[in-house]
């Protein structure tokens, strides 16, 4: 006797259901869009698997055996569950979902972009929540890959080769000094920049280390008077000191109304900033993740429309 197979092709269950529904092998084949020999072969395989004839000839077609009768409900339920599972990708509804999205973002993005996201969601996604996290640069890829985070909002060109990405907005670096700085008045010269002490944000997990790298290249590493983990602290440090900070323009503009600082173009060459959305390919087709990726550009539109300085369209 042949050894009973330990696994079963799911297509055979579909054949079983067609024969059960039509009680005729030829009509089952017609309903499935296959040949009658194909259905007959599938039925032989089912019989070998269950060690039972399952369907026997009768006038006008076939009739089920007792085992086939006991299997019919289970097979029907299994196929329904499978169909529902295959349709799960279409079941995300932002209006009713209680999903928590985790986004890797700097303190600047958290302060400026996240409030706009939450504002949109008040009406469109009232039960969805968000968690913003900052990570060391070496942890961003693995966190997106294993699904701990859904998306990153980053200036981090080094990740482009490992993650899917698209630009969210463009910006630039500027320098800020105290509005009462004793030696810097209406303009910031290169000699001023080279002479004064500096405060820098280390901003883990981002490409903003380019600022400190540039200071090191210029031989100014010993003139760094303060290193802080976050950008948001810098305007307050600068307003009460004689130091210079080089920061993204959006933060400088936001802080004008909070800290007494002056903004100047950088007198040294620094790269333009392109802030990207980055995600792992495993979430590329996920409906919830796709909704999130479409939400962030929408959140930027009021900022663009307001003419708020420091934010440029990604296409510009």
Could you check whether 100-169+273-313 and 173-265 share the same CATH topology? Answer: yes
Residue 24 banded pLDDT, cuts 50, 70, 90 = very high
Q: Give pTM, 2 decimals.
A: 0.67
Confidence (pLDDT) at 255: 85
Return the domain boundaries, the chain.
10-86, 100-169+273-313, 173-265
In the predicted model, what is the mean pLDDT of residues 223-227?
A: 95
Confidence (pLDDT) at 207: 79
pLDDT at 311 over 70: no
pLDDT at 117 over 90: yes
The two tokens of residue 104 are: 């890797």
Show the DSSP H helices in 51-169 as ranges.
66-86, 107-112, 114-124, 137-145
Nearest residue to 301 (alpha-carbon basis) of 146, 117, 131, 151: 117
Instruction: Look up the CATH number of domain 173-265.
Output: 3.40.190.10
Confidence (pLDDT) at 85: 66
Q: Which fold has domain 100-169+273-313?
A: D-Maltodextrin-Binding Protein; domain 2 (3.40.190)
Q: Over the stretch 187-215, which tens digit does the pLDDT of each residue have?
A: 999 999 999 999 999 876 677 888 999 99
Contact by Cβ (8 Å): 170, 272: yes
Q: Which CATH architecture has domain 10-86?
A: Orthogonal Bundle (1.10)
Contact by Cβ (8 Å): 189, 281: no
For residue 54, the 8-state DSSP code is: -
Q: Over the stretch 251-271, which tens digit does the pLDDT of each residue have?
A: 898 888 889 999 999 999 999
């Amino acid at each position: 006797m042949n050894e009973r197979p330990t696994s079963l092709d799911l297509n055979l269950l579909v054949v079983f259901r067609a024969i059960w529904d039509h009680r005729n092998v030829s009509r089952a084949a017609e309903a499935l869009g296959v040949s009658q020999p194909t259905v007959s072969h599938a039925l032989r395989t089912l019989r070998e698997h269950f060690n039972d004839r399952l369907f026997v000839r009768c006038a006008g077609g076939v009739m089920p055996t007792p085992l086939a009768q006991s299997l019919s409900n289970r097979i029907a339920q299994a196929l329904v569950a499978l169909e529902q599972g295959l349709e799960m990708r279409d079941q995300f509804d932002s209006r009713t979902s209680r999903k928590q999205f985790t986004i890797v973002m700097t303190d600047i993005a958290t302060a400026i972009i996240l409030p706009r996201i939450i504002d949109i969601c008040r009406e469109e996604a009232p039960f969805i929540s968000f968690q913003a996290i900052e990570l060391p640069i070496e942890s961003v890829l693995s966190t997106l890959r294993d699904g701990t985070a859904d998306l990153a909002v980053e200036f981090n060109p080094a990740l482009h080769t490992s993650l899917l990405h698209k630009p969210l907005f463009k910006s630039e670096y500027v320098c800020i000094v105290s509005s009462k700085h004793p030696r810097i008045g209406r303009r910031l010269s290169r000699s001023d920049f080279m002479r004064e002490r500096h405060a820098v944000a280390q901003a883990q997990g981002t490409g903003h280390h380019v600022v400190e790298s540039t200071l090191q290249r210029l031989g100014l590493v010993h003139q760094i008077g303060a290193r802080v983990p976050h950008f948001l602290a810098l305007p307050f440090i600068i307003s009460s000191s004689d130091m210079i900070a080089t920061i993204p323009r959006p933060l400088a503009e936001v802080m004008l109304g909070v800290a007494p600082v002056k903004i100047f173009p950088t007198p040294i060459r620094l790269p333009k900033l392109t802030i990207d959305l980055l995600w792992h390919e495993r979430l590329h087709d996920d409906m919830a993740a796709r909704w999130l990726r479409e939400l962030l550009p929408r959140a930027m539109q009021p900022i663009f429309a307001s003419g708020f300085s420091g934010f440029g369209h990604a296409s510009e």
